[in-house]
Structure 1
Amino acid sequence: MGMLRIGPEFGSEVWVGRERELSLTQTALTRLARGSGSVLRLVGEPGIGKTSLLAIIDQAAADCGYQVFHAVADQLSHQSPLSVLLACLGVRQRPDDPSRAEITQTLLGRAPAFPATGSTLAAVADMLVSLVDDLCAAGPTVLIVDDAHWMDEPSTVVWRRLASSAEHLPLLLVAAHRQDPSRPTHTPAGGGRGHEHLLSLTPLDDTEVSQLLTGLLGAPPGPTLSRWSGAAVGNPRYLHELADVLAREDLVQVVAGHADLRDDDDRIPPALTAALTSRLGLVPDAGDVLRTAALLGTEFTVTDLSVVLGRPVRALADVVQRAVAARILAGSGQRMTFCHPLIRQALHDAVALPLRRALHLDLARELAAAAAAPLTVARQLEAAGGVENRWVPDWLQRSAPALADADPALTVRLLHTQLGQLPTDDPHRAALSVALARALQLLGRWEEAADRAREALASSTGLDAHGELHWLLIRALNNSGKTDEAELILRQALTRPAAIPEPWRGRLLGTLALITRAGTGGPDEAEKLAAEALDAGRRCGDDCAIAGASVVLSLTHSDRRDHPAALRYAEQALTTLVGHPDHPELEMFALHCRVVSLQDMARWREADRVLRLSREIRRRAHDIAAGSIGVTEATLHYWVGRWDEALTALTPVPDDPCGPFYPGLHRGGPALLRRGVTALIAVRRDDRALAETHLHTGPEVPAGRSTDEDSEGFLLAARAVHAEQQGEPERGTALLATMLQHRPDTGTGPHHPWFADLIRMASACTDTSTVTATLDLARLWTEAEKTPGRAAAMRQRCVGLATEDPGPLRTAVQHYRSAGPRTELAATLEDLAVVLAGHGATDECRAAATEAIGLYSRMGATWDVRRTEARLRGRGVRRGVSGPRAPRPVSGWAALTATERRVAVLVAEGRSTSEIATTMLLTRRTVQTHISRALHKLGLQSRNQIAREVLRNAGAR
């Protein structure tokens, strides 16, 4: 395995400040040697070093002896579907290769021109995937695409198909994207699943800038050069251009071992300014236009430029086009941008500071009068260094909601400044205080939001502001973990009807109902309060109050196991909130209720689809409420077998046991759930270090608080399975047996998902009384369901396991296979295999065990695989075929194993590797191994040749 060779020959913009990216790249190349692939996405602005890093990866992979394929997309790529991947894989350049020739023939066989749509395009896409599979079968393969933001859509679809299976192949996919400034990337470097990494090439920091300039200038930068070199915004290309200008214009001297400007000034030196703006001479009469554009920012719209200059767009078109031709300006989506920030900085700094601030304020006023985007106006106000009290308060009052949604931090700064200048009796103060509290909450600054709401309440005289400020104060207190204080304030406020206007009374009643259920109160009181909130909301037509009350009613009906009613109320809340994008947290509460109700009704696939709706809601919520949906995601991902996604979903969930409650969870629930899910996955994967971290350390539930199944249950189950691992089934049984006190009429969350585990452990230590008690409780939970759902399926499994009757277990297996919870399907198949072993049904036993172990392997459940094999050995059954075996030929069709033959047949049917893996319940890597072995035994080179071999041996299957 070769190592990355990092050196100046690749460009210093890569090796300075790119240690983490290079380390991840090295890890990805190392994984290839072990047969595991990765996906790398390089994202960054132009000039940040993406192409140079691609060159390093290309060279390093080639040095390792890997197959490397490279392509560069461009603006014309969209006109030719699949053109990028065809070019990358050298389809047209390798007519001698049978697979590539077949692809070319398919393209030309239908029409002279490349087909844009239809079955041919789909067929070629499948053939490209098969070609990559063949390449991977031959050896580690690297696909690199530069400027992938121009990649055509069909190529993108195929790329995603390859990315979804790269982990199980010796395949490294690397794509470089230009970052779209209008959609900044929030995913950190190395984010995503274990084999997928986003390498966000960020600007160099001050230390790295200094290091790069030292290499370019021959000496470390001095204090003056260091002060304004930041105008290059850490972009290596800009810094290179800057160094070129400094050297060409002889603006730098080395004194006392440091390179610095000859003139000590805080601004860009005039000589350098002249050098940077020299290309302005290529655009005569453009000075005023470009200086005004510089005041608008590094990016601006031509419409805004037209407004502030008082000139129609058509009158500016020629100047803007010539500036683009001179590489002063460039298009960036719907906006214009300066090609070089230093040019913009030089134009900006050329205007004296007092005049510049006055101009910014003037621009802000003109843009506001023209109804420009609030964010555009706000940036001009901030650049002006202050606000004034003539038109700004009115504009802020109108624009604050939209501005807060676009940039809550800027909104907070402007509102703080404006409120600091307003007289105490100014009529705008109440509305601006409410807006400030809202913006602070969007930033998650709950303590400040609560303080601001309290201050505003003390001085507010308007009833509408009074009601909203109570609403904001309660939300801020709850989200900062001060639920008891929030409940006290709510009860006090609601005892004074005249103090809370009717439109807000319903919302506050609904919030009190939610807090009551999540705290020490029960479903009865919560349901009563929610009914009052629903009536109040309907009287005044307040959709938010109706939705909030519906959420609580969904939760209370779920407590009573009336899952259809709970689902109806959740859907009522979501329907009511359509057209109200300013309540994303409440939408996520309603989504949680809908997802959980669907799970309780065993409608798993529908629950999975519904959960995807949360992505748009979370975007509107600025990720502040991500934790509230994280607990929902985590549990669903766990049960459907996506354990890595479950751990990722729990990332934003706080560990604070006194933090905010989430829908469906009581106080302390989120912290225990994060701990419990992580521990259970770690135990089942036999990750002992991670398991120990979460099993015995971490936050405990506050005294006197109860939790539901999705928090306490996971941790108890993790500790019980861990005890089972240690050979202590008695201790595991005792831990899980504490769940037997939770009956369906207590209003606490269900614990029936863990009943079969309890029966397994109790049976292992011949604890018949616990087995009997568990069966009785399983019956009660099933009878409590208004319609048969999740509890009914679990009861079938429990009865079959306790009585060693394969019938109920077969029924449960069929249910789980059709419904979709992979984790419960695998466990039930394991139980069925063990029971069948006791009945002497060896063939069916082995089939069930093989399927269970395949599912466990896909989840990484190492311990479950070992436990399954141990339980079967205890009943005299080992996996595999016993008895003497006839010698198998080493080559030809007869050399193939039964599994390899079945894989070959599926390949001949045109199935992709992922489709074969799904059909056979194998990992993709295992399927690829079978394909590679089949190719070797048959003496073939491609999947397409396998089809002919299958037809030739059709009678020998």
Structure 2
Amino acid sequence: MVPLRGRSEELGKLLAALRAAGNGQASLAVVSGEPGIGKSALLAAAVEQAERQGFLVASAAAHQTDNISPLASLAPALRAGAEPLIDTDQFLELAALNTQPLWLAERLADLIGRRLAGVRALIVLDDAQWSDPLTAFVLRVAVDRLPAASVLWLLATRPSPGGPADQLSEAVSVPVHSIPLAPLTADAIQDLAADRLNHAVDPSLALQLAGVQGIPFLAEQLIAGLYLSGSDLSAGLIEGVRRRTSDLSETGRDLIRTAAVFGSEFRLEDVAALMAAPVARLAAPLEEAIQAGLLTDAGSVLRFRHELLRSAALADVPPSAQRALHGAIANQLMSAGRGAAAAAPHVLAVAQSGDTSAVATLREAARDLLSTMSITAAEVIQQAFDLTRVDDPLRAEVGVDVVSILLVAWQYDRAKAFADDLLSGTALYHGPITPDLQATLRLHLAPHRRLDVQELTVPGAAPHLAERLAAHRALAGADAPSAATDPIAQSLQQVAAAEAAQSEGRYADARDLYVAARQAEPDLGSLPPTLVEVGELYCRAESDDLSAALERARELMTAGSSWAAPQLAVLHARLEYASGNLQQAEGAAHAGLRWMDQLHDRSLAPAADQVLALVALLRGHLTQARKLAGSDPTISALLAIADGDAKAVKRLAATPQDFPERIGLLLQADALDELKRLSPSAASRGALAVVAAGNDVEQLAEAVEIVRTAQRPLLLAQAEERYGRAALESGDRKTGVPALERVLDSLTALGATAPAGRIQAVLQAAGVRRRRWAAVPPRAQEGWESLTPMERRVALLVAEGHTNRSAADELVVSASTVGTHLRAVFGKLGVNSRVQLTRLVLERFAPPPNA
């Protein structure tokens, strides 16, 4: 390989990052610089070094036309080499997820993570400024998902503020190495030239090389005769290319000029069709262009060797000829069935304001791109809108398209602002603003449920639109659900009625209403089907159908709309928790939080934190639970109970309606009245029977059997613990001990070590001997976690200002007992005064900022 000149410092940074990757520290390196500055050469040197060190290397380069094909920029890197990152079957599986960007990104990150297990890797993307939106999104997810992988992610990009590389650098949590490239020194340029010539540079060439201003690409082109040094770099390159192409045949020159209008990448058959020449006749001219150093054959496509060469060749095509060629190219691509998306860049190159034909093509292109490239579709439809005149009614029609496509691209704020501007009579649109236009725009926005109620009323709108708006008012809680004739309005009213029934705990009724609502075909104003099904599955789980609801929730985690990922993740976490699958519940909650960050919407974060806090409490990780609790009163009550405050149990009766596994908390609180008001189900009936039974062993046995049919292991453990304790207290060891042993085994298997430890202590106190007790983690030796429940209670009371005597009265123990506990607290927490203890407790239990 030709030596890399003048970049020892930059290459050193990349090699250091490679060494770190080899030691398990993933990172991102971004090489940036102007065209021709040597970014690709630096990447090639890094690739060579990585291969020498035994790294798996996956490399690709983005191209200007990538933004019309999903994952076009990254796909070559995934499939390159004898040992690709993903195999053929996996790649085909990914292709089926093109319309679900988040699921695709998650699956791809998972596949790459598995492939990189025990492997050191370098993943390279050149010309990242041209990355297609899906590639940019996938990289953000994958880099963040694999912080412990032995991988260096290496990107090269032109300076592009806010572009893909900047977005990636700002989004990821791994270390980011920014490596800007400056022009080479004069000595480095001369060394580079000597390498290319295989001999020393003569004085006359050295003088010309001084005119390339440190840009290695221009130095190479000067040597190749494709650049004439001078004060104007562009003029020097244009003149050099002009001189080189003058030696080509006339057909060869036509081929270069026509290809330059197509773009940096093109198909020979397309150029041949435009030149009205058989492909065979272009074989010799193509070889001329390749030999001249202008083009390279990549197999299925041809490319200019560098974008600067294409720009230089394009400068020899008069603007009028460029316009004509762009128009001809657009027509040809459309007639050849290549699609409006492929033709769109050429349409835009020649379109003028008021060109309705161009607007039609761009609208078609946006529709074609919408399912797989929604971000690109949003850009294309905005360009179509800009081509319409401000007083043309067509502008309003295209404006509606803009709003709908922005919403599909999950850009609600931008869509709302655009709709408001369109309807406000500003310079954006001067045409007629009809009631139907207003209603249509509002109905596009309404399913996101962030409009003010007054925006859901449009006097004079068509009946079916008015009915749909009325249904959305019912969903917002402004009106009661009512009858409707329009199918979409009926569906929305059913969802409104379902949500009302769900909030009242009538889960079976709500489930049936959700099912009915999902029968309508989606149309303007309808809610996303996946979100409606989320409500249905929650109600199914509360109506003795937990296992089926959980199975369907798992399916939707890859088959449902990825834009609904946070809602699906929270549902999935709750159902896994209800089923006693703590690890899966924790994973789903963490995934939901990660997806909320990806979609920039953390409105459901408290719901995910609830599940994580409950899992932490069951595992005895009180510090972790406390960090997650925030201002949640139910979690705070559970923490107080864990800290020894028995009075906090009563606060659980006020558990919110939609709290995860609310029935178990009501059972813990002996909330008889609240349990009576619950919708009948095996879980609620069983919990009610447990509380109503009190200490009656026979009645508790019957209640336990009811709970058993609910298939909720944690709830069953609660019920059976009461049964076992009551039996022991009545002197019936033959019944009580086996019952508690079943509870202990169940909780241990579930990973609920905190309640398992409590049951184990009860059994040991009862004199039960086992050859091997459950592996309950030992209590910490220092810190808050090391305190017993009584010690925690004493610490909290002292921090509140209690004396030993008043604390003793509160706890119904002696003052000397309080003193004993307080000395233990001082030793375990490393404090030696009540003031220090108070400060520590206040710091620990201070509410989070903005709580």
TM-score normalized by the length of structure 1: 0.55
Aligned to 2:440: 468
Aligned to 1:122: none
Aligned to 2:530: 588
CA distance in 2, matches of 1:397, 1:867: 65
Check the 8 A contact 2:212/2:233 in 1, yes or no: no
Counterpart check, 1:881 vs 2:772: yes
The 1:692–1:551 alpha-carbon spacing in structure 2 relative to 1, beyond 3 Å, is same
Partner of 2:397, secondary structure, is helix
Could you tell me how far 1:587 is from its partner in structure 2?
A: 1.5
Aligned to 1:711: none
Render the CA deviation track for 1:415-450: whole Å, top value 9, x for unaligned: 555545544432311211212222333344434423
Aligned to 2:118: 172
Could you tell me how far 1:614 is from its partner in structure 2?
A: 5.7
Check the 8 A contact 2:238/2:313 in 1, yes or no: no
The 1:652–1:299 alpha-carbon spacing in structure 2 relative to 1, beyond 3 Å, is same
1:635 to 567, 571, 574: 574
Could you tell me how far 1:724 is from its partner in structure 2?
A: 2.5
Counterpart check, 1:791 vs 2:684: yes
Counterpart check, 1:735 vs 2:651: yes
Check the 8 A contact 2:613/2:628 in 1, yes or no: yes
CA distance in 1, matches of 2:238, 2:644: 79
**Aligned partner letter, 2:661:** P
Partner of 2:486, secondary structure, is helix
Could you tell me how far 1:608 is from its partner in structure 2?
A: 3.2
Aligned to 1:724: 641
Check the 8 A contact 1:378/1:410 in 2, yes or no: no
Could you tell me how far 1:560 is from its partner in structure 2?
A: 5.3
Partner of 1:203, secondary structure, is strand
Aligned to 1:34: none
Counterpart check, 1:850 vs 2:745: yes
CA distance in 2, matches of 1:514, 1:380: 45
The 1:322–1:271 alpha-carbon spacing in structure 2 relative to 1, beyond 3 Å, is closer
**Aligned partner letter, 2:647:** E
The structure with the largest alpha-carbon Rg is: 2
The 1:847–1:301 alpha-carbon spacing in structure 2 relative to 1, beyond 3 Å, is farther
CA distance in 2, matches of 1:584, 1:23: 51
Aligned to 1:506: 467
Aligned to 1:807: 701
Q: Which runs of 5+ in 2 are unaligned?
A: 27-39, 60-80, 95-105, 126-130, 160-165, 167-175, 220-228, 426-430, 774-851
Aligned to 1:896: none
CA distance in 2, matches of 1:14, 1:823: 57
Could you tell me how far 1:600 is from its partner in structure 2?
A: 1.6
Aligned to 1:775: 672
Partner of 2:141, secondary structure, is coil
The 1:292–1:205 alpha-carbon spacing in structure 2 relative to 1, beyond 3 Å, is closer
Aligned to 1:608: 550
2:510 to 563, 566, 573: 566
Partner of 1:527, secondary structure, is coil
CA distance in 2, matches of 1:266, 1:465: 53
Aligned to 2:428: none
CA distance in 2, matches of 1:409, 1:423: 24
Aligned to 1:753: 661
Aligned to 1:328: 296
CA distance in 2, matches of 1:803, 1:655: 53
Could you tell me how far 1:349 is from its partner in structure 2?
A: 5.0
CA distance in 2, matches of 1:617, 1:243: 57
**Aligned partner letter, 1:645:** A
Counterpart check, 1:555 vs 2:499: yes
Partner of 2:86, secondary structure, is helix
Could you tell me how far 1:371 is from its partner in structure 2?
A: 5.7
CA distance in 2, matches of 1:428, 1:265: 46
Partner of 2:638, secondary structure, is helix
- How does 1:659-738 map onto structure 2 within 5 Å? 670=604, 672-685=606-619, 690-696=624-630, 715-731=632-648, 733-738=649-654
Partner of 1:632, secondary structure, is helix
**Aligned partner letter, 1:648:** A
Check the 8 A contact 2:481/2:496 in 1, yes or no: yes
- How does 1:81-120 map onto structure 2 within 5 Å? none
- How does 1:485-496 map onto structure 2 within 5 Å? 485=452, 487-490=453-456, 492-493=457-458, 496=459
Check the 8 A contact 2:18/2:50 in 1, yes or no: no
Counterpart check, 1:146 vs 2:83: yes
The 1:467–1:526 alpha-carbon spacing in structure 2 relative to 1, beyond 3 Å, is same
- How does 1:326-365 map onto structure 2 within 5 Å? 328-330=296-298, 336=301, 338=303, 342=307, 345=310, 349-351=314-316, 354=319, 356=322, 359-365=325-331
Could you tell me how far 1:681 is from its partner in structure 2?
A: 4.0
Aligned to 1:429: 395
- How does 1:230-269 map onto structure 2 within 5 Å? 253=210, 263=230, 265=232, 267=234
Render the CA deviation track for 1:92-116: whole Å, top value 9, x for unaligned: xxxxxxxxxxxxxxxxxxxxxxxxx
TM-score normalized by the length of structure 2: 0.61
CA distance in 2, matches of 1:828, 1:12: 68
1:380 to 346, 368, 379: 346
The 1:807–1:628 alpha-carbon spacing in structure 2 relative to 1, beyond 3 Å, is same
Partner of 2:355, secondary structure, is coil
CA distance in 1, matches of 2:770, 2:273: 77
The 1:412–1:256 alpha-carbon spacing in structure 2 relative to 1, beyond 3 Å, is closer
CA distance in 2, matches of 1:868, 1:258: 74
The sequence identity of aligned pairs, in percent, is 17
Residues matched between the structures, number: 665
**Aligned partner letter, 1:855:** L
Could you tell me how far 1:464 is from its partner in structure 2?
A: 4.6
2:481 to 506, 527, 548: 527
Could you tell me how far 1:801 is from its partner in structure 2?
A: 8.7
CA distance in 2, matches of 1:301, 1:593: 50
Partner of 2:118, secondary structure, is strand
CA distance in 1, matches of 2:465, 2:53: 59
Aligned to 2:789: none
Could you tell me how far 1:649 is from its partner in structure 2?
A: 0.9
Aligned to 2:814: none
Check the 8 A contact 1:595/1:607 in 2, yes or no: yes
Check the 8 A contact 1:374/1:402 in 2, yes or no: yes
Check the 8 A contact 1:627/1:653 in 2, yes or no: yes
Instruction: Tell me the C-alpha RMSD between the 2 structures.
Output: 5.9
The 1:645–1:755 alpha-carbon spacing in structure 2 relative to 1, beyond 3 Å, is closer
Render the CA deviation track for 1:594-643: whole Å, top value 9, x for unaligned: 22122122433432343333645535xxx4x5444444344334434311
**Aligned partner letter, 1:471:** L
Counterpart check, 1:618 vs 2:552: no
CA distance in 2, matches of 1:693, 1:191: 23
**Aligned partner letter, 1:738:** A
